[in-house]
Amino acid sequence: VVLDVNGEYVNIHKSKDGRPSTSKLTVLAPRNGINFALAKLGLRTMSGVLSNALDLPATSSKVFSSIWRDLESKGDLTLPNLIQTVQSWSCHESVREALVSRLQVLAESGLFYDETNPLTEEKILHAIEGGGILVVNLKNQSHIVRRILVEIFLGELTKILSSNWLRAAFLFAEEAHLYLRETYWDDIITRMRHIGLFTTFITNQPDTVQETIYRQADNVFIFNFTNEHDIETIGKVAKSDSETIRSLIRGTPARRCLLLGNVVHDLPLMVDVEQLDVRTMGETRLFFS
């Protein structure tokens, strides 16, 4: 599963000359395959969305849970019904305003436009089982929509893996600092690996990754870095001698990578990376070539 901030992975199933490959690739985006239903997501996931992505206060969260269970018992759980019920529910005005404002954000996000045909755990499972790639295209989405999407997908992957429907899943989180709340970093690295979710963080701003994440990471793959501050950041957290790391990564050419961690038994190793015959969308566009 790839959390794709800039739409760089949407064509990796095609060769450079446009020929399709045999790769099993599914690309989803809001209003283009990504569409959820409250009843399918469940109270736990939606409470997480409201609390973690939309900063709903704890008092309002308790009222939300009560309203949810009431509608669920009636089999009438949809986003429009939820908003309507909150507006007439007996509670403090500040609680009502907090809930309505956040539910309106969900309604305007484009993620719940048709609750009769939602994206489910089964559909996600079908996309990735047997070696499939699921790209969640976050390009051109607001910061809030990105956070909502990530919260939902992490919740859905947790359900799938906790139910043993899938042995393991690999999550590639590109520029995670743009959408992942800080308290989630440790959670993904530690707790989620126990249920079979293994994460690779991808960034060209190493100082945005918390130092504790570097220290818990099994492996670090370092490509071209020229900024002294970036080099210093990586050098400080590397298990190997920091001066050696700095000298190795300074001025590394394209498609050359420094490996650190378990994969090389903590002995720094420089390798050349073979160029793939795939259509990547993340290359820098040059005026003077």
Measure the CA–CA gap between 118 and 136, rounded to whole angstroms.
Answer: 15
- For 209, residues 6+ apart whose C-beta sits below 8 A from its C-beta are 176, 177, 185, 201, 203
What is the helix (H) or strand (E) element at residue 40, kind and residue range? helix 38-41
State whether residue 270 is helix, strand or coil: strand
Cα angle 77, 102, 4 (rounded to 5 degrees) comes to 95
12 touches 281 (CB < 8 A): no
Say what the alpha-carbon torsion angle 51, 57, 62, 66 is, to the nearest 10 degrees: -70
pLDDT confidence tier of residue 145, bands split at 50, 70 and 90: very high
* Model pLDDT for residues 174-217, shown as the tens digit of each residue: 887 787 766 566 677 777 888 898 889 898 888 888 777 777 88
Mean pLDDT computed over 105-133 = 88
Given this model, what pLDDT does residue 62 score? 95
pTM for this structure?
0.85
Given this model, what pLDDT does residue 282 score? 64
* Model pLDDT for residues 79-97, shown as the tens digit of each residue: 999 999 999 999 999 999 9
pLDDT confidence tier of residue 64, bands split at 50, 70 and 90: very high
Measure the CA–CA gap between 102 and 100, rounded to whole angstroms.
Answer: 5
- For 243, residues 6+ apart whose C-beta sits below 8 A from its C-beta are 235
Quote the mean pLDDT of the chain.
86
208-289 CATH, one of 3.30.420.10, 3.10.450.50, 3.40.50.300, 3.40.50.261: 3.40.50.300
14 touches 284 (CB < 8 A): no
User: 169 pairs with which residues across the strands?
Assistant: 197
**Domain limits of the chain?**
1-34+119-202, 38-108, 208-289
Measure the CA–CA gap between 145 and 150, rounded to whole angstroms.
Answer: 9
Given this model, what pLDDT does residue 182 score? 63
The amino acid at residue 120 is: T
What is the helix (H) or strand (E) element at residue 141, kind and residue range? none
